[in-house]
Amino acid sequence: MRARISGAPRWRERAGAAAAVLVALTGIAAAPAYGPLATLPMSSTTAAALGVLAAWPYDGRRIAAVTGGAGIVSLAATTGVLLLGEAHRTRTSATGWMVGESASLLILVILVVRAAPVRHTLIAAGLAGVATPALLLRFGLGPPTLPALAGFAVWGLSAALAATVGLYLRSLDGHRARSVRAARQAQRTQLARDLHDFVAHDVSGMLAQAQVGRILAEQDPRQAVAAFERIEQAALQALASMDRTVRMLHDTDDLTAGESADRTPLPALADLRDLADRFSASGAAVVHLDIDARLEDPNGVVPREVAATAYRIVVEALTNVRRHAVTASRVEVTVRRTRTVGDHTGDALEVTVTDDARTGPAGHVLGDASRSGGFGLAGLTERVEALGGKLAAGPSAPHGWRVAATLPLAATSRGGDIRPVTA
């Protein structure tokens, strides 16, 4: 089955085809009264313009072929009028047909300049553009008077104006296409960051459980079996995340924002409790989560993008604890509502993750956001700043590491100073 080249709905294609056929039949029927050299060129060029418009968006090369053909038909009719001496008859009875023919040619010039490849555009638009002022020759060849020259100039400028309109529309189409490509690239980059955030967390948990299971296999086989079950759950979750991300990378061209949300729901603050439980169960460090229950309401005051970013911050911080803070025994995760003061005053979400690991070779040197290669904390910093917030990571007194982020609940260009809500 041959693929459709046109992107128009079928009903519009059929309506356009019916209108084109009707116009062609009208030109044939009116030929005895006004002459075939007046009615047939008008009906053919108008049918061509209606067909292209009805099938829009259409293949650019085909539009060029139709436009070039219409220009050739019009030029041939003009030549025929001059050779056969039909100029007097054209002058007295076919002016209206010529106006319709010129309008159709100008429409085709706009469409071909907008959509066709450059080489095809030059040929097709040139033929149709020259045919437009050449229509005046059907009134006869006389001395080059000032009104005649003015008429040629006006009709020639109309063709140039049509080409200019087509170029403007072509530039808009190019800008739109570049914007779509940039949005798709940004989406792919974000998907790669999500893959790092979630899969790296699960894989590091599997590694920790495997190390524990190797020891327990000799001491307590039953606990070793439980550890292996947690490894299996983490592996299944990691595989699901990778499968979902890879599928979305393949389907990026067809995804809209709504489809993306349906296929991969954004994580929410309510998911932090399950995340904390899984982290505590898979390692030596215990996560203590302090979060206001009102913030866990998916229909509450926290926007989805802010909640998803807060979740990713906690995931990245816990992953870095597992990788670089093996001596940590306790991790404090606090999520609370704050209020910014300064240039931009308003409600914000404050997320802090603090561990009690001893400093030294096993500390967080590798967890520095500046050395994350564009993903991890560095990527989250860009995301937080894009939302108008701030993210900082550094040592915590007396020992340990602290990641703190402030995310405005309303759009701001830059965060201000922070103070907790006391009420």
Domain annotation covers residue 50: yes
Q: What amino acid occupies position 374?
A: G
Domain annotation covers residue 361: yes
Counting the structural domains of the chain, the total is 2
Q: Of 92, 113, 142, which closes a domain?
A: 142
pLDDT at 158: 92
**Cα separation of 115 and 145, whole Å?**
38
Say if residues 269 and 311 touch (Cβ distance below 8 Å): yes
Domain annotation covers residue 173: no
Give the residue-averaged pLDDT of 21-50.
87
Say if residues 394 and 403 touch (Cβ distance below 8 Å): no
Q: Are residues 135 and 271 in the same domain?
A: no
At 348-402, the pLDDT tens digits run 899 999 998 875 444 444 344 433 433 566 777 877 887 788 898 888 877 888 9
Domain annotation covers residue 121: yes
**CATH code where residue 375 lies:** 3.30.565.10
Average pLDDT, the chain: 76
- The length of the chain, given as a count of residues: 423
Domain annotation covers residue 167: no
Alpha carbon separation from 335 to 2, 85, 388 (Å, rounded): 57, 90, 18
What DSSP assignment string belongs to 352-391? EEEE-PPPSTTSSGGG-GGGSTTSHHHHHHHHHHHTT-EE
Angle between helices 146-219 and 118-134 (to 10 degrees): 160
Residue 206 pLDDT > 60:
yes
Residue 267: left if φ>0, alpha if ψ -120 to 50, beta else—which one?
beta
Domain that holds residue 378: 267-423
Residue 298 pLDDT > 70:
no
Q: Of 118, 142, 166, which closes a domain?
A: 142
Domain annotation covers residue 84: yes
Higher pLDDT among residues 1 and 67, named by residue: 67
At 227-279, the pLDDT tens digits run 677 777 767 666 666 665 566 555 554 444 444 434 455 678 888 888 888 88
Element counts in the chain: helices (H) and strands (E)? 12, 6
Give the residue-averaged pLDDT of 401-409.
89
Global pTM value:
0.52
pLDDT at 247: 60
Higher pLDDT among residues 355 and 96, named by residue: 355
Enter the DSSP assignment of 283: S
pLDDT at 372: 41
Residue 85 pLDDT > 80:
no
Q: Identify the band that residue 90 occupies on the pLDDT scale cut at 50, 70 and 90.
A: low
Domain annotation covers residue 39: yes
Higher pLDDT among residues 101 and 221, named by residue: 101
Domain annotation covers residue 308: yes
Q: Of 102, 121, 142, which closes a domain?
A: 142
